Amino acid sequence: MPQVSQAHPVLEVTSLEAGSKLSGLNEIWHDVTGMESVSDAVAAHKMKYFVPLDSAGSTGLKSGAFWSHFVLKNSSSSAVTVSIEYIDNQLMGLMAFSRLRGGTGPYVESANLSISQPFSARAIKHHRFAFPITIPPSSSKEMMVKFDAGTLGVVFPSMRVWTPSQLQERSKTEAILTSFLFGGYFLMAILALIGAITMRENILYLYSVYSAAKIWVWGTLLGYTHQYLIQDNFHWSYLSLSSAAAILTGILFSRCFLETAKYTPRMDYVLQLIMLNGVLLIICVVFQWEAMADILMVLALFLYPGVVIVAMVRWRQGNSAAAVFALGWATLVLGLLVQAMRDLGFVVHNPINYYWPPVASFVEMLAIMIAISLMVQRLRRQKEVAERKYLQHLEASRTDLEYQVQLRTQELEFAKVRAEQEARTDPLTGVFNRRCFFEESGSLVRVAIKNDLPLYVLMLDLDNFKLVNDIHGHLIGDQALCATTRVISQHVRDVDIFGRIGGEEFALVLSASTEGALAVAQRIHRDIAKIVIKSAVGQVQFTASIGIAGLQGEEGILELMQRADAALYQAKRAGRNRIIECAET
């Protein structure tokens, strides 16, 4: 067990004490029940139960109370008043008794301090237990001090000796240091809250709450909550409650920041266990289980390093901000480890390791803020990349959509043209159908009348075409119609209009003279007779009858067609296979 040089049981004090002298660890007695009186302590001292404390300064985690015996000697010719300060905050109560050395009288109570007492009842307004004691000139006072550890706690029996003014100055210095820490926590909490509102980042809300919890826990553990906020009816449970709040908010923040549930689900169970530990700590506060609360606090210290391991794993997975987070959390863990070593008596209690945990916690929050900045930058980059990809995808989709629209438009236009064509043409032969023929012919007739141009209509019918269908079948009949169409089309100009009127009947409007119309009719009549179609039954040949009528006056297409049809009828009656011109009237 590590040892330090102990102060002599007789401690020489002057009016210049600055906290460098300690009451010592030479005579310490463990009151296991914590119920012994000063008379019992005096009896124990006479029986040599008071022995040196075998540690670096702490009793370790023990129950009950501890008694310390030491002597304050004033060699000066005037009375000296000193302030005796307990060096830590983890103490339920302190009672001090004194008497002049060498006397036989009883010990007189000099101080009775407890965290449950109003802060105003303290003789010295200090955030740690402290009491004044006056030593007459050229005299010594025996001190018997009782340290109440509660159900389970840590005691540092060696106390510092100050002059009142020096203790006051030290108190101001500590207040400045802690004000800097708490101001930093508060500033980080406010900045995170503003960032959360403006940037809509939930992780910043958690960081803000975590920072506020840091103010609560360290303000309570260092005694400032009792001194400034809850001066009356303070209770030990506030220590555990603030610790539980810091644990829960810290681990919840860590889980969200590191995204452990998503990327390290197994390790996330460790963080959930720490959160459960915090919940159990709150339950202990509710049911006033002081010893169990202390055990859970120790358990939390053992589990906290697991967060560093999880952060390192996330860093190995590619999260660079997790490395900074791990560094900050490791700083906190190191500070808590130093505190644990100090509480267990392995490390000497001094101002450095006393303030190491809150300072390490402050450094942790700074590191986490840097990690958050890195995370936000990473998220922004990811967002920019996602937006860029989205815009590229949107542009590609727009281009594709434009292409699809263009393609669809072309298809619609083609379908429209095709529909119009199908509506205007005969589906078998491909020439104008009856409706379209009359529309186009009507226009041509009006133009001819307006410009006094000659115009003729040829009505053509295939002779005995029903026999072709009956003997050779409709397929051969369709081939005959198509062949007839091809033959007639060879004699049709762009200015002429040719169409299938129905069945085997065709019509042709010619912008030509009488001689020209007759010549065309004769060529068509001749070429149709030359058509030969092979079928299973034999060759198919057929002739055509043609009726011709010329435009007279201002008659319409219907009248002109009727006269041409009458001429065709005459050709049929005259024996078919001939051309008849309708006589002018």
| pLDDT of 511 | 92
CA atoms of 556 and 306, how far apart (whole Å): 103
| pLDDT of 428 | 92
Q: What percent of the chain has pLDDT over 90?
A: 56
- Compute the average pLDDT of residues 351-378: 84
525 within domain boundaries = yes
Residues in the chain: 585
| pLDDT of 156 | 95
- Compute the average pLDDT of residues 147-170: 92
Least confident of 181-190, 340-349, 417-426, 447-456: 417-426
* Banded pLDDT at 3 (limits 50, 70, 90): very low
- Three-state SS letters, 371-387: HHHHHHHHHHHHHHHHH
Q: What percent of the chain has pLDDT over 70?
A: 98
Q: pTM higher than 0.85, yes or no?
A: no
**Statement to judge: residues 117 and 190 lie in one domain:** no
| pLDDT of 380 | 78
**Statement to judge: residues 51 and 27 lie in one domain:** yes
560 within domain boundaries = yes
- Compute the average pLDDT of residues 296-323: 88
Least confident of 245-254, 348-357, 410-419: 410-419
**Statement to judge: residues 55 and 146 lie in one domain:** yes
Least confident of 296-300, 539-543, 579-583: 296-300
Higher pLDDT, 152 or 545: 545
CA atoms of 153 and 383, how far apart (whole Å): 51
Q: Is the pLDDT of residue 361 over 60?
A: yes
Per the structure, the count of domains in the chain is 3
| pLDDT of 296 | 84
For 385-435, the pLDDT digits (tens) are 888 888 888 888 888 888 888 888 888 888 787 777 777 899 999 999 999
- Domain hosting 378: range is 169-388
Q: Which of 3-12, 73-82, 298-307 has the highest mean pLDDT?
A: 73-82
400 within domain boundaries = no
Q: Is the pLDDT of residue 544 over 60?
A: yes
**Statement to judge: residues 206 and 118 lie in one domain:** no
CA atoms of 523 and 512, how far apart (whole Å): 15
Residues 6+ apart with CB under 8 A from 578: 525, 545, 546, 571
- Compute the average pLDDT of residues 280-298: 82
Q: Cα torsion for 503, 505, 509, 513, to the nearest 10°?
A: 170
399 within domain boundaries = no
Q: Is the pLDDT of residue 2 over 70?
A: no
**Statement to judge: residues 548 and 440 lie in one domain:** yes
For 117-143, the pLDDT digits (tens) are 999 999 999 999 999 999 999 999 999
| pLDDT of 585 | 62
**Statement to judge: residues 138 and 185 lie in one domain:** no
3-class state of residue 133 by DSSP:
strand
**Statement to judge: residues 486 and 501 lie in one domain:** yes
393 within domain boundaries = no
Question: Which CATH number is 210's domain given?
Answer: 1.20.1070
- As a whole number of angstroms, the longest Cα–Cα distance in the chain is 170
**Which DSSP symbol is given to 36?**
-
CA atoms of 296 and 278, how far apart (whole Å): 8
Taking all residues of the chain, what is their mean pLDDT, rounded to a whole number?
89
